[in-house]
Structure 1
């Protein structure tokens, strides 16, 4: 009896247990804004580019549907190849379905940020939700970029050696006065990176982590095949979409010339940090025209290519992006 009375007195003397806070609703508006922002971006982009959209759709309405269907199938293949390269860049096994959905959604994010930063941001967020640490997720982006640019360079060199149209590329090379400001900007950026000491430690850690993951990836043949095989196939599949669009619209160039034009224009225009691949499209039109295609047909081909690769998947990609954010997969 005394033990019961002492226990009850101890309970009375104990400090009260604080009540658990109610679930905060402060983050709901932000989460809703994140879910709806891709749809808003798609709507604004469509309104600002309605004239190009109308012209591209009008010309595509008179194109050969079989070639457009082939281009659409190859467009779907680009997301599969991108997912393979992303998987090859990390030692961890990722769920194939969610990985493919993330790459499809990443296409919508690329219309906001230049140089593929939108797709990289979506991929980093996806890797973080799968338990990959931030430094390793960022290192996978670096490995992905190195493999993609290296494989693309190899494909470009092989295309240059196997095609006689490379001589026409000399007409597109700017003179020295245009290259001087570009060289000055690159030099200043290098000097700034050398002077800013606070950035050395995180950059050193990132490089160390990237090298560690690169060794782990290259020790597994399946990852090597996914990384380098996918990186090599990516520019070829994308250029094949352009070639199919050109066949549908009567571009009048061989597939080898179209692939070379795509690689050369992508290399030149990709260095300009403009969202939505505007610089790449402009360089692609000039390159196709330099290879002998009429300017009007070259412009229509590039517009049709963007309709297949960007405009048609934009709304579905935005919906998938919103759904993945709502499901906390991103």
Structure 2
């Protein structure tokens, strides 16, 4: 498969026609506004939220400017650890041996891609591209994404249940749970999608092929203890490490909540906000602010904590991640 960097050369010049006998390229100038809108949508949503909550945002930024640097440095160290854990999960999801250094670099670069697409699609696209360049067939590369997502969601659910059973703070989550009628459309959409994939013939064949490939690779992966440990151990550790970044940021700002409450708030808000397909994690951030406030944190401090968390996990690594992504594309690693 050709590199992404070769795409511009495959496009005709502006105002010119494609050469005779060659199909018109899929990517055209008409798609540029859509790609630009996808890239700018997280920034636009954040700007709108900031304008409507200006005083709260300014107070949060002011508190962040006086945070304890030691705790912020610890949060930065845990942020670096999240890329290592993500690379472990990716390796555990495929039977093939992947180069550790390049795999880690691809996960660092994938963080930059996640700002343009919701639900982790940017990171998944970068990972599929990386696996394809390593000789993994497209069907197996896609199946690894499914296995990765199942392991990540399953392990996070188990961790959340454990915290719910071991903490008394779960009682305060009741006011954040949506009304049952809100969940009905979600259940209906998921059910219709499954029925459509099973009934429509053009969709049935690729879906069944993907499921068959995913089950086959899952058996191979779980027959190797090192792969199974990387997959499930990493999937269990990832939400804890990410919540640790939030807890360190809260300590730096004087959030006033225990680490157990912060971890539970992160897991609950991530589960609720992750169901909303908005790029850049904006829905998760909003849910996280209100969850921390429901646990007893002042709203301004909770806002500052979430801002600091996003600065450490997203905005500081964004430029280096984009540079690594560009370098890997130029080197034809992606």
TM-score w.r.t. structure 2 length?
Answer: 0.84
1:283-298 matches, within 5 Å, as 283-298=287-302
C-alpha spacing 1:142/1:187, structure 2 compared with 1 (3 Å) = closer
| 1:307 matched residue in structure 2 | 311
Which residue of 275, 280, 284 maps to 1:276?
280
Pair 28,65 (structure 1): closer, same or farther in 2 beyond 3 Å: farther
Q: Does structure 1 residue 174 correspond to structure 2 residue 165?
A: no
Which one of the candidate residues 75, 78, 85 is aligned to 1:81?
A: 85
Matched with 1:72 is 76
Runs (5+) with no aligned partner, structure 2: 1-5, 14-28, 30-34
Residue by residue, what CA displacement relative to the aligned partner does 1:133-157 show, whole Å, maximum 9, x if unpaired?
1011111111111111111111001
- Range with bigger deviation, 40-49 or 147-156: 40-49
**C-alpha deviation, 1:189, in angstroms:** 2.6
Q: How many Å apart are 1:249 and its aligned residue?
A: 0.7
CA distance in 2, matches of 1:313, 1:59: 22
- Say what the alpha-carbon RMSD is for the aligned residues: 2.8
Match of 1:231 in 2: 235
- Give the TM-score normalised by the residue count of structure 1: 0.85
Shift of 1:317: 0.5
Aligned residues: 303
Task: Please give the alpha-carbon distance, in whole angstroms, between the structure 2 residues aligned to 1:24 and 1:87.
Answer: 28
Residues 326, 196 of structure 1: CA spacing in aligned structure 2 closer, same or farther, 3 A cutoff? same
Q: CA deviation at 1:286?
A: 1.0
CA deviation after TM superposition for structure 1 residue 243, in Å: 0.3
1:122 is the counterpart of 2:126: yes
User: Paired residue for 2:251?
Assistant: 247
Instruction: Name the SS of the counterpart of 2:9 in structure 1.
Output: coil
C-alpha change, 1:171 and 1:66, in structure 2 (3 Å) is same
Counterparts of 1:26-65 in structure 2, within 5 Å, are 26-27=9-10, 49=46, 55=58, 58-65=62-69
Higher-Rg structure is 1
* Residue aligning to 2:24: none
Question: Which residue number corresponds to residue 211 of structure 1?
Answer: 215
